[in-house]
Structure 1
Amino acid sequence: MAELAAALAALAGGSSGNGALAGSSPRPVSPSTLAQPGWFVPPHLLRHPHCRAASLTAHECSREAAAQPTDFDRVYRYGLSLQELASKLIQQPADQLMLLNQAAEVYMEASRLQGGRHAAALYNWAVALTDIARLVRAQQPDEAYECLTAAASKYAQSLAVHSDNPQASSANNNWGLVLQDLSGLRAASERHGYHHHSLQKFRRAIRLRPDFDRACYNLGTVLYSHACSLQEALLAGQEEQEAAAAAASSSLSGRRSSSLGPGSSATAAAAGSSGRGAAERAIQAIFAHAAQYIALAYAMEPGKGVYGDSLAAVQRLLPLPHLRAGCLLAVHPDTECSPSEQWVPCWFGLGLEGLQAVRPPAAYAGSAAHSGMPAAPLPIRYELADVADARLAADPSLPAGAAIWLGLRSSPRGAYLVAADQDDAEGWIDALLLLSHLLRAGRISGAQAALALRR
């Protein structure tokens, strides 16, 4: 109690430097102020019982940092204590913003003391900048954009210092979220690049840590939002085309141009319908891709309510009982390891039984993807327990497309498959790696529930 009373007295008494910090201004104090005595955490925060302990910790850390401003550990701990205190002030955005600004500047000083080579300081600096952007976004979008851009830079620097440090997965995941936030502050024409790079960061996060459910879920929700945006744009474009066609039909009524043949309108309509059909199939594939990651996040942590709710909303998009299904090129088993290997398109399904060639759904009969497929599924099957690795392969001797190499415990050579493009290949690789990891970790029951659930 005596220690608490002394701290309260110090905070309440303070010098003129303390008075500046206790005011309403949300701007931070320069890190050079660390060397000046009397700079304390705002005393009014101690009136809130739920953050009193954090306030006292931050106060003590500020005194230690002021006493030794060139000691990295003390300065860094001060930044952490400010960030921790800010996290307890959700209902007080002005105080939260002030503390986060202070934390960002303290991390800048801590990073300077380490020559910009301390991964954790850079990481936490980026987190503080991201939180600042969240608080100012509504009123100051330009400042939010600057903070997010700086945060992305700090995550990049953190990973450059130590690409596989303990926070690498979280850094990639957070970097992906920052890129998504940045895309929302840019013109529609600029968003595709941000979206593409954010997916890469989420994928990197789950490749580094296959049990990282949050990164897996984020990847699924970002893909789902992207599919929704594409669907809305397609519907808007379709409405515009229909309106234009109706106007053209009205203007041409009774005076058809001689340059148009009698079947030209029907031909144009058929071409437009064909293009829309391809776009709709591509969008449905993205929806299924999104559902795959949401199902995997649920499989990792079936107890999280948000995952269960999201799975219930998207499970109908999965190719049940498979997690993922689609066309891949594979070597015909009769020609395997022969000088004249024959590559054939096969419909594959990936589920709890592993990856195997299966009969395609009726909807794909007669489609371009179905062209050239054997009448009956070929005997190609890879057990989940046999999959040790999966990665993209760059081999010019393979057919055109994005090649996937499967590392198999039963075969040192492994096996090769070829997807239509890199996005498709990455989806197969993630699904294979995460499902096989769940099996090895003895957590396949979550995947069983995800693929068997009917809501």
Structure 2
Amino acid sequence: MAAVAASNPQQSLDKGGSLDLYKGGEELRRAVAALAGPNAEHREHREGERPASFSDPPTSSASNAAQLIPISVKSADHSTRELAFAAQRYAKAAHKDPSDYESVYNHGLALQELASRMASSRTEQMQLLQQACDRYKAAWNLKQSSSSALYNWGVALSDMSRVLKTTDRATANGLLTEAAEKYATSLQWSANNPQALNNWGLVLQELSTMAPDHEKGQLVGQSVQKFRNAIRLRPEFDRACYNLGTVYYSHAHTLSSSSAAQLSSQLTKDRQRERQERADGEEIEHAFKLAALYITLAFALQPKRDVYKRSLKVVRTLLPQGVLCAGSLQAVVPATAHTSYERWETRYFLLDHKGLRDTSDEQSSSGNAPDPYRIALSDIADVKPCMDPSLPAGHAFWVSLQSRPTGLYFCAGSLEAAEGWVDAILMVAHIAKTHQLRALEHALTIEFPA
């Protein structure tokens, strides 16, 4: 329970790293420049028209979808005016040819980006986002294999939920559920999209905060899996890594509060209750350590992001001193490897910026013999969970090495522990390949003022 005592429930991680993603995906941000290029205004004047403003009345020939947004942009900046012009152009093109997928889809992108610039008016934001959703629906109906339309539709629904969260919680919850469905469907067409996985994880995380107690755990577990899949597809994806850390941190505090409430309601203790209390304490401590693990890795990937540094300060003391990951794993006794009498034993391993190494007493007493479990980060090719009936009971994973074709197998005592080791080894190896080990070393050794 040491980790619980060390963690102040009043300390909260900065959510800025995760909430940013509700305001639009990477594709949406990349598309903005293309939607309203530097020559847009010139082209409009050349065609004898003036740049559109949102206060322009719709023409009689325009459909509802092609009408401009009912807000004023008299005080808007130049880029917003250009974006409004782009929205009108796409609306007119889509009205002229309703089967033109690109015009319909890009109209949605423009509306969604305009909504992000109207934070001062919730009504205007909701109008724009609803129109964007309508455009994405129309685009998807034209091209149902379009993962992009589904993905950005999910982003728009998430944005709508965020706008309504404080005023209409039930509707906000329903919009998040819809967004989750859109991300899930988009991944059927584009399975290797880490951004969609990350955003789906954010939606599930948010849904867990609104769910009844008996549903929270399942939603948290699903959220964790989405973030985990994202970073395994893209180990450099710092935001998904950070989001995974915040999920574990919040979950650890929820478990801690629940355990404390049950303890206070228990007038007397029996052996069964004491065993449950110890098990609860171990689960809470492990969740806090995983939170610290992922937040430290996010900092190592992007040490200049202030939100990561502030969060690292909160969780730094929860890590094993000076290392990223430490714990017992089952491994093959070196002398018996690849023989008919292969034997496994429990050994103690550490992972830090220097590599993965065995620190068990038996290994250290082996004199000058080569250490098969001292693995340089540069030697690691891949890490994967594995299911093999020939391995000991537990949760196994395989470390593929450049120097040994067969690699090495390890078994952890729990699925959560095995997944944590896989993520940590995979990402530290990536950090080594990208020459960011100094940032990881700094994260592991930095002394924060009290």
- TM-score (ref. length: structure 1): 0.83
Residue 441 of structure 1 aligns with which residue?
434
Q: Within 2, Cα distance between the matches of 1:87 and 1:156?
A: 24
1:387 to 370, 373, 380: 380
Matches within 5 A, 1:27-426: 33-34=64-65, 39-49=67-77, 51-114=80-143, 116-164=144-192, 168-241=193-266, 244-245=267-268, 268-269=269-270, 271-359=272-360, 374=362, 379=371, 380-426=373-419
Structure 2 residue 436 is matched with structure 1 residue 451:
no
Residue 9 of structure 2 aligns with which residue?
none
CA spacing shift, 1:186–1:436, aligned 2, 3 Å: same
Q: CA deviation at 1:142?
A: 2.4
Q: Within 2, Cα distance between the matches of 1:191 and 1:161?
A: 29
Q: CA deviation at 1:169?
A: 0.8
Q: CA deviation at 1:118?
A: 0.5
CA spacing shift, 1:306–1:377, aligned 2, 3 Å: farther
Residue 19 of structure 2 aligns with which residue?
none
CA spacing shift, 1:230–1:65, aligned 2, 3 Å: same
Q: Within 2, Cα distance between the matches of 1:59 and 1:453?
A: 53
Relative CO higher for 1 or 2, CA cutoff 8 Å, sep ≥ 6?
A: 2
Q: Any idea what SS the aligned residue of 2:210 has?
A: coil
CA spacing shift, 1:39–1:412, aligned 2, 3 Å: same
Deviations 1:322-370 (A, max 9, x none): 10011110111122222111211111111122111125xxxxxxxxxxx
Equivalent residues of 1:173, 1:201 under 8 A apart: yes
Q: CA deviation at 1:436?
A: 0.4
Equivalent residues of 1:295, 1:447 under 8 A apart: yes
Q: Any idea what SS the aligned residue of 1:423 has?
A: helix
Q: Within 2, Cα distance between the matches of 1:145 and 1:111?
A: 23
Q: Within 2, Cα distance between the matches of 1:428 and 1:13?
A: 60
Q: Any idea what SS the aligned residue of 1:406 has?
A: strand
Choose 130-139 or 401-410, whichever is displaced more: 130-139
Q: Within 2, Cα distance between the matches of 1:67 and 1:339?
A: 75
Q: Within 2, Cα distance between the matches of 1:219 and 1:286?
A: 11
Q: CA deviation at 1:276?
A: 1.7
Q: CA deviation at 1:61?
A: 2.1
Choose 47-56 or 401-410, whichever is displaced more: 47-56
Equivalent residues of 1:111, 1:118 under 8 A apart: yes
Q: Any idea what SS the aligned residue of 1:44 has?
A: coil
Q: Within 1, Cα distance between the matches of 2:391 and 2:264?
A: 43
Equivalent residues of 2:248, 2:288 under 8 A apart: yes
Q: Within 1, Cα distance between the matches of 2:445 and 2:206?
A: 34
Deviations 1:411-455 (A, max 9, x none): 111110000121111100000000001111112121111111111
Q: Any idea what SS the aligned residue of 2:50 has?
A: helix
Equivalent residues of 1:76, 1:106 under 8 A apart: yes
Residue 262 of structure 1 aligns with which residue?
none
The count of corresponding residues between Structure 1 and Structure 2 is 398
Structure 2 residue 58 is matched with structure 1 residue 14:
yes
Q: Within 2, Cα distance between the matches of 1:132 and 1:187?
A: 22
Q: CA deviation at 1:320?
A: 2.4
1:418 counterpart letter in structure 2: C
Deviations 1:222-246 (A, max 9, x none): 00100011011111111111xx23x
Q: CA deviation at 1:96?
A: 0.7
Q: Within 2, Cα distance between the matches of 1:9 and 1:272?
A: 68
Equivalent residues of 1:355, 1:382 under 8 A apart: yes
Unaligned runs of 5+ residues in structure 2 are: 1-40
Q: CA deviation at 1:40?
A: 1.9
- TM-score (ref. length: structure 2): 0.84
Q: CA deviation at 1:15?
A: 4.3
2:207 counterpart letter in structure 1: L
Q: CA deviation at 1:7?
A: 3.6
1:106 counterpart letter in structure 2: R
Which one has the largest radius of gyration?
A: 1
- Percent identical across equivalent pairs? 38
Equivalent residues of 1:46, 1:55 under 8 A apart: no
1:187 counterpart letter in structure 2: P
Equivalent residues of 2:53, 2:84 under 8 A apart: no
Q: Any idea what SS the aligned residue of 1:350 has?
A: strand
Equivalent residues of 1:86, 1:99 under 8 A apart: yes
Q: Any idea what SS the aligned residue of 1:42 has?
A: coil
Q: CA deviation at 1:162?
A: 1.9
2:332 counterpart letter in structure 1: V
Equivalent residues of 2:53, 2:85 under 8 A apart: no
Q: Within 1, Cα distance between the matches of 2:54 and 2:234?
A: 46
Unaligned runs of 5+ residues in structure 1 are: 19-31, 246-267, 360-372
2:419 counterpart letter in structure 1: E
